[in-house]
Amino acid sequence: MQTPTDKAPPALPRKASGLRSAARWWPAAVLLLLLAAPYSTLPLPGLLDGPLGSAGSLQLLALCLVFGALATGYDLLLGRTGLLSFGHALWFAAGLYATDVAMLELKLPLLPAALLGVAFAVLLATLLGAVSLRVTGIGFSMVTLAFAQAGSILVQRNPGGLTGGEEGRSAPADRLPGALVGIENTANLYWIALGYLVLTLAVVHWAVNSPTGRVWEGIRENERRVEVLGLRPHGFKLVAFVLAAALAAVGGVVYLLLSGGATPQAATSDFTLSLLVMVVLGGSGTRWGPLLGGVLYTWADHRLGDLSGSAAVQGLPAVLRVPLSQPLFLLGALFVAVVYLLPGGAVRLPARIREARSTRSTRRTGGAAV
Q: What is the DSSP string of 184-199?
A: GGHHHHHHHHHHHHHH
- Per-residue model confidence as pLDDT tens digits over 228-262: 888 999 999 999 999 999 999 999 999 999 999 89
Residue ranges for the chain with pLDDT beneath 70: 1-23, 306-314, 316, 319-325, 327, 366-370
Work out the mean pLDDT of the chain and round it to a whole number. Answer: 86
Please check whether residue 48 is in contact with residue 57, taking contact to mean a CB–CB distance below 8 angstroms: yes
Measure the CA–CA gap between 214 and 194, rounded to whole angstroms. 28
pTM of the model: 0.87
Mind giving me the DSSP string for 206-257? HHHTSHHHHHHHHHHHHHHHHHHTT--HHHHHHHHHHHHHHHHHHHHHHHHH
Task: Report how far apart the first and last C-alpha atoms of the chain are (Å, whole number).
Answer: 44
Measure the CA–CA gap between 304 and 325, rounded to whole angstroms. 9
Of 227, 240, 220, nearest to 130 by C-alpha is 240
- Structural domains of the chain sorted by starting position, each given as residue range(s) with its CATH number in brackets: 52-369 (1.10.3470)
pLDDT at residue 1 in the model: 46
pLDDT at residue 310 in the model: 65
